[in-house]
């Protein structure tokens, strides 16, 4: 099983590997590690060119971008991966997420899993990974709460407003 772990904090990689090893104790894994969006793009291209697939992609939202390919965050990286490997299970594990990014990721990417790093321990993450492998989806309580609150806000329901907020999050200035 090929597992992509993409997070710009390398310490997180070991924790995610440990959780995956606990979830699938008797299976052999190949961990593919990335720390930015360019690494993700290059790795996915190499896998595709070699005729290999990625079974799971564990992505952080906020990572250094790859502007040349319009991959500005884990969100665009997930879209890119799903486009090339539609059966890849996408799991977002992030430290910080705006309500806008949560709404967009849930509605556009439809990840198999979505949680804050602070919402889990290794054993619980292993259980979540196993649940996802059985065809279920998972959103941590805090991600789900933020998503539901965002849906209740009428200003966030308008696509143009979400686009403006997303550009603002990327550092664009509003004049």
Residue 91: per-residue pLDDT: 97
Q: What are the start-end ranges of the H helices in 59-135? A: 74-84, 99-104, 122-133
The model's pLDDT over 77-129, given as tens digits with 9 standing for 90+, comes to 999 999 999 999 999 999 988 888 899 899 999 999 999 999 888 999 999 99
Reported as a single tens digit per residue, the pLDDT across 120-168 is 889 999 999 999 999 999 999 999 999 998 888 765 666 676 677 667 6
pLDDT in tens, 23-33: 998 888 899 99
C-alpha 6: how far from its chain's center? 8
Contact 96, 63 (CB under 8 A): no
Neighbours of 42 (CB within 10 A): 14
The residue ranges of DSSP E strands in 15-173, in sequence order, are 30-34, 56-59, 89-94, 113-116, 138-139
pLDDT classification of 175: cutoffs 50, 70, 90: low
Mean pLDDT of 59-81: 95
94: helix, coil or strand?
Answer: strand
């Amino acid at each position: 099983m090929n597992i992509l772990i993409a997070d710009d904090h390398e310490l997180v990689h070991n924790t995610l590997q440990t959780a995956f090893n606990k979830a699938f104790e008797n299976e052999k894994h190949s961990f593919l590690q990335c720390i930015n969006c360019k690494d993700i793009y290059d790795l996915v291209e190499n896998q595709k060119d070699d005729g290999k697939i990625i079974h799971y992609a564990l992505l952080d939202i906020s990572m250094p971008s790859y502007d040349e390919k319009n991959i500005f965050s884990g969100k665009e990286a997930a879209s890119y991966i799903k486009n090339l490997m539609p059966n890849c299970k996408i799991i977002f594990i992030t430290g910080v997420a705006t309500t806008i990014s949560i709404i967009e990721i849930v509605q556009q990417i439809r990840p198999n899993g979505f949680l804050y790093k602070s919402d889990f321990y290794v054993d619980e993450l292993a259980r979540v990974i196993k649940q996802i492998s059985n065809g279920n989806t998972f959103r941590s309580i805090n991600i789900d709460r933020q998503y539901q609150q965002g849906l209740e806000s009428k200003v966030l329901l308008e696509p143009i407003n979400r686009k403006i907020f997303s550009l603002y999050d990327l550092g664009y200035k509003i004049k």
